[in-house]
Chain A
Amino acid sequence: MAKKTEPASKTPGTGSNTVPIFIMGKHYDVPDTLTIQKAMEYAGYTLVRGCGCRGGICGACATVYRIPESYRVEVGLACQTVVKPNMHLAIMPFFPANKAVYSLEDISPTGTVLAEYYPEIFKCIGCNTCTKSCPMDIDVMAYIARAIRGDVERVAELSFDCVMCGLCAARCPAEQAQYNVAILARRLTGRYIRPRAQHLLDTIAYLQEGGFDAELEMVMRAEGKELEKLYNEREVEPEMADESWTPKQQVAAGRGK
């Protein structure tokens, strides 16, 4: 690896400086404003693996890199991380992880359920590499600690921003697949721990009774000016209204029971 930062130079036509980067060991000069992803395309790569939403949410472009000045392994999402001079990088195309197969309907959010499906959580050695490896700034080790204690809901909360890129699993010396533990916790939380939306079930019951039908049929029959009139005169819930707001127009018989 080059230990010296090479001087930056102007790229013709782009108005920005170029910096040297090393894509899987090969040297390219790229504009310093680009993300790693765009820099690879600038260098001539057609991405197949390692490119997804290009917006930091799908987790397809987990990337590892080193800067010569530091001994550390750095991580980031290629679509979100701007190139740094002399970075040596590789996009991780895929990392295998075992996922437990379960029937959500047949399990419950007990203190032991996570350990039942992922007993390796107890092998955590507390090194914190997972947390340091997370491009979404999630405290991964903290949620694994909660998983060990059986606090399903807290695992769900702490892991909510997870994009399942796999960097935590790739770096874990205890060979865990943290993000699969996390999604099980989130689904258990959504299904069993958070109260169900009773109003949704009531609305469905009302729908099944045909409560909405007459009004829907009426607006479906409307055409042209009549339809536009219905649209223009429909009552709009005020922006600042709270949950107790109800419309003045009694649009459906038997509403609000």
Chain B
Amino acid sequence: MAYTPELKELIKKVEQTRLERVARKQAGKEFPALTLEERGEVLQKFHPDFLPNTKRALKAGPSKGYEIPHEYADILEASSRVEADSLRLGEPDYDTDVLVIGGGGAGTAAALMAAENGASVLIATKLRHGDANTMMAEGGIQAVTKKEKDTLAAHYLDVLGGGHFVNDKELVATLVREAPYAMAWLEKLGCLFSKFEDGRLKSMHGGGTSRKRMHYAGDITGAEIMRTLRDEARNHPDRIRVVEFSPAVELILDEKGQCCGAVLFNLETEEYRLVRAKATIIATGGSGRLHVQQFMTTNHYGATGDGLTLAYRAGVPVKFLHTVQYHPTGTVFPEQAEGLLITEKFRGAGANLVNIDGEQFVYEREPRDVEAACIIRECSDRKKGITAPNGKVGVWLDSPMIDMLEGEGTVRREFPGKHILFRRYGIDISKEPMLIFPTLHYQNGGLEIKPNCETRVPNLYAAGEVTGGVHGENRLMGNSLLDVIVYGRIAGRTASGRIKKVKLGTKPSLNHAKKFDEELAAAKAGDSRVAPILLPDYVNPEVKERHRVVE
């Protein structure tokens, strides 16, 4: 659907100020960035994390008392799907050295490293192998690769500043130290990163970066990484088995309290299948499909936080779940693309954010939370947003500036995915701006891990978006792809390195889940909810009204 005449009229105001804004940028005169004090103020007033009555303290489990959004609390304070006594846990359907729960970037990286170490691996995944947020990451992957201008300390400071200085420092240090190796590994696997003729990696800024260290593969960086890792996993059928459409719905613990496998649920035949594993890696990704505060999300269909539920019940605390990342730029118009991610790379390449009067109102490379809060302020408090035909309000992301700054054809060449998508709707984003508003994007926090990916439960490891600590209260662009590769590799290495020493008990059980249910009941929490929820519920409520069953 092309822009309506009313919106086209408003776009003229953007065009009127564009030349001057481009000239300012060319002269190196950027819109002033906010000071740390100003950042704090706009976050307090306008970021959704700070709205009252959106959180509650957990009443049960290892993080009892911790205040997190209701939507997260709902899946942690919930009962098991499994009737524990109905399963013969001593007779597994699969026996493996390493069980990887989740077939996205972290899980597949972990599987590859474990297989390389000689372990047998089973990947159990809810949808298809590769159906994950990794596939959708557009912008890029940060790493120090140019020592002439960049250092691990600079990357470390960027991560910490973006995360409000409360990140787990050891996790950050590991992330930045392992980053160059992660890049070299991906290059060796044949990922087609955007490069200069001589092989030098192209790199650019992201919000909150002090050096241009974000590497990319066109505007489909995550897809390029994911399809390459998946292809490589399929080159090892002797070591890596993949079971699709079979999410884990409960961990299995032995009498020593060690994790010894998981219960899988075949979504198609609806049967439970049992896995015995010497090491289990949780790599289930994020939870955008929980729609915190009813925000639209950029996330994958399967992003329902399943791994948080499983591990929390088994005794792993959660951290940094009190903050949620809203990506500043999600599509508002056309409606078919609503909530869809517009990569930060557009702003990295110089596109301004502009209000209804054609005025720039914020520096375009603030960290994500600050940028999102400033957009919400412009649309609410200052009433300078643009209203789309569906009633949704947003601001302009002035993508045509990029062609003026970098040369005609840059938008089409550097953002082929988005260019094609909008062209289908009759919008040429190299000539017309995009209407955007913040959209739920990333689970900043999650399971507590050590830098080697161990959790508090023996034989249980976790990596990627399901974990919390490395990004503190706010993740920077380009650090999530990095996180899944770095920590996925570490989890695979650690887990496979341990399997020789693991002695599994003889009494596998789901007692931990039973105990957790009792704790929920005693605390009057839970409210008969069941988790993991596995799939979001998008069925038309009017249809569900007609589902009534006669008792």
Residues of A whose CB lies within 8 Å of any CB of B are 33-35, 38, 41-49, 51-58, 60, 80, 82, 99, 101-104, 136-137, 156, 160-161, 163-164, 183-184, 186-191, 194-204, 206-207, 211-212, 215-216, 218-220, 227-228, 230-232, 234-241, 243, 245-247, 251-252, 255-256
Contacts and interface: CB of A to CB of B under 8 A. Distances in A.
Nearest to B138: A57
Interface string B349-367: 0100000000000000100
Looking at A34, A136, A231, A245, the one whose CB has the most chain B CB atoms below 10 A away is A231
Interface in B402-456: 416-417, 420-421, 424
A247 B421 CA distance: 39
B180 to A, nearest CB: 5
B157 A55 contact: no
B148 A256 contact: yes
Contacts of B300: 52-54, 58
A202 B160 CA distance: 26
B183 A52 contact: no
A137 to B, nearest CB: 7
Contact of A52 (B128, B181, B200, B365): B128
Looking at B227, B245, B350, B416, the one whose CB has the most chain A CB atoms below 10 A away is B227
Nearest to A188: B190
B187 A200 contact: yes
Contacts of B64: none
B149 interface: yes
A119 B70 CA distance: 56
Contact of A237 (B160, B161, B205): B205
B335 interface: yes
B102 interface: no
A187 B417 contact: no
Contacts of B394: none
B25 interface: yes
Contact of B145 (A41, A199, A220): A199
A99 to B, nearest CB: 6
19 contacts: A42-B540, A44-B539, A47-B535, A56-B421, A57-B223, A58-B131, A58-B223, A58-B300, A60-B127, A101-B234, A101-B237, A104-B189, A161-B220, A161-B416, A197-B183, A197-B187, A199-B147, A200-B201, A216-B151
B212 interface: yes
B99 interface: no
A191 B190 contact: yes
Interface of B: 1, 25-26, 28, 30, 36, 127-128, 130-131, 135-136, 144-149, 151-154, 156-158, 160-161, 165, 169, 173, 176-177, 180-181, 183-184, 187-193, 195-201, 205, 210-212, 218, 220, 223, 227-228, 231-232, 234-235, 237, 245, 267-268, 298, 300-302, 335-336, 340-341, 350, 365, 416-417, 420-421, 424, 535, 537-540, 543-544
A255 B228 contact: no
Contacts of A197: 145, 183, 187, 193, 195, 199-201
B20 to A, nearest CB: 17
Contact of A251 (B135, B153, B416): B153
Given A212-B147, A231-B160, 11 more contacts: A33-B335, A34-B336, A35-B336, A38-B538, A48-B268, A161-B416, A187-B228, A199-B146, A231-B157, A237-B211, A251-B153
Nearest to B146: A199
A219 B153 contact: yes
Given A51-B301, A55-B340, A240-B26, A204 B184 contact: yes
A203 B36 contact: no
A131 to B, nearest CB: 15
Contact of A199 (B157, B200, B220, B232): B200
A201 B201 CA distance: 12
A35 B424 CA distance: 13
A234 B301 contact: no
A179 to B, nearest CB: 9
Contacts of B184: 200-201, 204
Nearest to B154: A234
Nearest to A76: B424
B413 to A, nearest CB: 12
Looking at B189, B190, B421, the one whose CB has the most chain A CB atoms below 10 A away is B190
Given A41-B538, A160-B218, A251-B154, A238 B190 contact: no
A165 to B, nearest CB: 11
Nearest to A45: B539
3 tightest A-B contacts by CB? A195-B199, A187-B190, A44-B543
A34 B335 CA distance: 8
Nearest to A201: B184
Contacts of B135: 52-53, 57-58
Contacts of A42: 540
Contacts of B189: 104, 187, 190-191
A79 to B, nearest CB: 9
A216 B156 contact: yes
Contact of A190 (B154, B165, B190, B302): B190
B543 A230 contact: no
Nearest to A233: B157
B417 A161 contact: yes
Contacts of B153: 212, 215-216, 218-219, 251-252
A160 B30 CA distance: 35
